[in-house]
């Protein structure tokens, strides 16, 4: 069973491990999706993260169907703002506009089969729409009860800070989470995003915590990817060829020295980092849910964290920021 945490400054309590639903409706069907959701319930996972753009709405539909009769037992996060290629109508390239956000939220509510979204996330910046407008309509949706809390995704640190300032000065709802790429392999978020979120009380929701699979233990320097694995696909060859094997092998050695798997290190070690609220890991099979729950239960000691800080951490990171 996994523990729980609060999402930033919100009142949303979620499991420390979240289920990434990007494969729902694209790589797995309703029967397989239901099996994954059932496994999540069996292991105490209560947090499901999807987006309208995943399968052009199909992920939301399958998640809603799999949760039928159990919706009140979970926290559902979804996102808006990426190109839906006309599924939500003509957006004019302004997917942060008030009119589009209202169209998008109604479509997501319908597909999910629910009357509210627990965490509604702005999926990517919209340079054509002022942030004041986006936050304004999100504030209205919170007041109307259609959304419980709001978050951002793929914003740079300065944009997270700017949005927070706009919310405070304009008396608008604030982003309580930031969902960005972050793993023990790719720690660039620690340069600016982590210290910004720590200062603002924003919870980080790391995606790609396994670095596209590089931190699963399936791959070895100089060897082809095993058949059927994610990085075995022709489109992923460059990720394997360009991987930082020195870093991967250092993490593997760290894990071996503690008699844990690199998967346990990748998920449990990331969950122990400052500001991390829940680690979102995409799955396609029930056994992956069990493996990830076991992994997040590994808790590093302070000595572990100190040693881990020397592997792949950017020189300019939150350790250089003195608390106020």
Active site residues: 54
Residue 76 · residue 118 · CB < 8 Å: yes
Cα 229-29-219 angle, rounded to 5 deg:
10
Q: How far apart are CA 99 and CA 91, in angstroms?
A: 9
Residue linked to tokens 């199909």: 58
Phi, psi at residue 202, to the nearest 5°?
Answer: -95, 130
Here the tokens at position 224 are: 């082809």
Residue 172 · residue 139 · CB < 8 Å: yes
Going by C-beta distance under 8 Å and a sequence separation of 6 or more, which residues neighbour residue 201?
A: 8, 9
Q: How far apart are CA 263 and CA 295, in angstroms?
A: 6
Q: How far apart are CA 240 and CA 212, in angstroms?
A: 9
Long-range contacts formed by 25-30: CB under 8 A, 24+ apart: 25/54, 25/55, 25/58, 25/59, 25/61, 25/62, 26/54, 26/55, 26/58, 26/59, 27/284, 28/284, 29/62, 30/62, 30/65, 30/66
Residue of 5, 8, 7, 11 whose CA lies nearest to 45: 5
Residue 304 · residue 260 · CB < 8 Å: no
Residue of 12, 36, 33, 45 whose CA lies nearest to 280: 45
Q: How far apart are CA 164 and CA 152, in angstroms?
A: 11
Residue of 138, 27, 28 whose CA lies nearest to 81: 138
């Amino acid at each position: 069973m996994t523990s729980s945490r609060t999402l930033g400054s919100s009142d949303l309590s979620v499991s420390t491990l979240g289920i990434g639903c990007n494969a729902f409706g694209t790589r797995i069907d309703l029967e397989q999706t239901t099996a994954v959701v059932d496994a999540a319930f069996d292991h105490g996972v209560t947090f499901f993260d999807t987006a309208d753009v995943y399968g052009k709405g199909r992920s939301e539909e399958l998640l809603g169907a799999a949760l039928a009769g159990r919706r009140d037992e979970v926290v559902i996060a979804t996102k808006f703002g990426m190109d839906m290629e006309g599924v939500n109508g003509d957006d004019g390239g302004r997917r942060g506009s008030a009119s589009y956000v209202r169209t998008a939220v109604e479509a997501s509510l319908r597909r999910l089969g629910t009357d509210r979204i627990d965490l509604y996330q702005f999926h990517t910046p919209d340079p054509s729409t002022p942030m004041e407008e986006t936050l304004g309509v999100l504030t209205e949706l919170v007041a109307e009860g259609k959304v419980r809390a709001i978050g951002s995704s793929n914003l740079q640190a300065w944009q997270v800070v700017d949005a927070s300032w706009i919310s405070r000065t304009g008396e608008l709802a604030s982003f309580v989470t930031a969902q960005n790429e972050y793993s023990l392999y790719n720690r660039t978020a620690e340069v600016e995003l982590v210290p910004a979120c720590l200062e603002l009380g924003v919870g980080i929701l790391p995606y790609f915590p396994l670095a596209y699979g590089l931190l699963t233990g399936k791959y070895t320097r100089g060897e082809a990817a095993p058949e059927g694995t994610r990085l075995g696909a022709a489109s992923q060859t460059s990720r394997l060829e360009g991987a930082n094997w020195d870093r991967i092998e250092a993490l593997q050695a760290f894990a071996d020295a503690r008699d844990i798997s690199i998967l346990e290190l990748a998920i449990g070690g990331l969950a122990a980092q400052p500001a991390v609220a829940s680690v979102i890991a995409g799955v396609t099979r029930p056994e992956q849910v069990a493996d990830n729950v076991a992994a997040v239960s590994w808790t590093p000691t302070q000595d572990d964290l100190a040693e881990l800080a020397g592997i792949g951490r950017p020189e300019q990171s939150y350790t250089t920021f003195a608390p106020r």
